[in-house]
């Protein structure tokens, strides 16, 4: 089995993600991801309400909503960063940093793999099937299979969700 430059790039993406997470640790990585998700949800759910309080400061309605969402998003990220720092210090003091770093490496590898799946799925939308680098890759077919499976799963869920055949997202599982 001979790896091509594409295969080595895939390995590098996963390795770099693993090394970053090895340095930061699982808890910091997981809390960072959770903080970004929560920040998005908070901005989405409460941006409109905050925008109503910005009427006297911002005249344009669209700019008001964007500013409100940005304020909530950034404020949530700052609170999350503080919580992340405090929990990171707690882990450091308790001596669990070795286990935390190992689990972080595993988390990073999974994140890197997910990133590769997303990239391969997006690249496959372009006419690359005839390209030599695509055909000769040893790893692309495996990640493409996961990308196709994920796409079909998500499309099935969204079809059920949008056609109203399911009242709750949990019913889709």
Q: What is the DSSP string of 104-131?
A: HHHHHHHHHHHHHHHHHHHHTTSS-TT-
- pLDDT higher at 49 or 161: 49
Q: Are 25 and 91 in contact (CB under 8 A)?
A: yes
- Contacts for 87-91: CB closer than 8 Å, 24+ residues apart: 87/27, 87/28, 87/31, 88/25, 88/27, 88/28, 91/25, 91/27
The stretch 90-101 carries a mean pLDDT of 88
- Does this model's pTM top 0.75? My answer is no
Q: Are 109 and 57 in contact (CB under 8 A)?
A: no
Residue-range domain boundaries for the chain = 5-157
The stretch 154-173 carries a mean pLDDT of 63
The stretch 76-89 carries a mean pLDDT of 95
Neighbours of 169 (CB within 10 A): 10
pLDDT at 69: 94
The region of weakest confidence among 48-52, 97-101, 151-155 is 151-155
pLDDT at 157: 81
pLDDT at 156: 83
Question: Given a cut of 90, is residue 54 above it in pLDDT?
Answer: yes
Question: Given a cut of 80, is residue 170 above it in pLDDT?
Answer: no
């Amino acid at each position: 089995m001979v790896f091509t430059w594409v295969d080595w790039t895939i390995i590098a993406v996963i390795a770099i993600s693993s090394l970053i997470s090895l340095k930061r640790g699982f808890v910091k990585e997981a809390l960072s991801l959770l903080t970004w998700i929560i920040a998005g949800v908070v901005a989405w759910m409460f941006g409109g309400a905050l925008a109503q309080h910005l009427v006297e400061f911002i005249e344009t309605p669209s700019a008001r909503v964007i500013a409100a969402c940005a304020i909530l998003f950034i404020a949530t990220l700052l609170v999350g960063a503080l919580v992340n720092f405090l929990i990171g210090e707690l882990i450091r003091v308790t001596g669990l940093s070795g286990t935390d770093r190992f689990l972080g490496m595993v988390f990073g590898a999974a994140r890197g793999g997910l990133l590769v799946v997303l990239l391969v799925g997006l690249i496959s939308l372009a006419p690359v099937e005839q390209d030599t680098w695509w055909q000769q890759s040893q790893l692309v077919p495996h990640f493409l299979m996961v990308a196709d499976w994920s796409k079909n799963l998500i499309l099935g869920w969204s079809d059920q969700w949008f056609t109203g055949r399911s009242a709750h997202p949990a019913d889709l599982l």
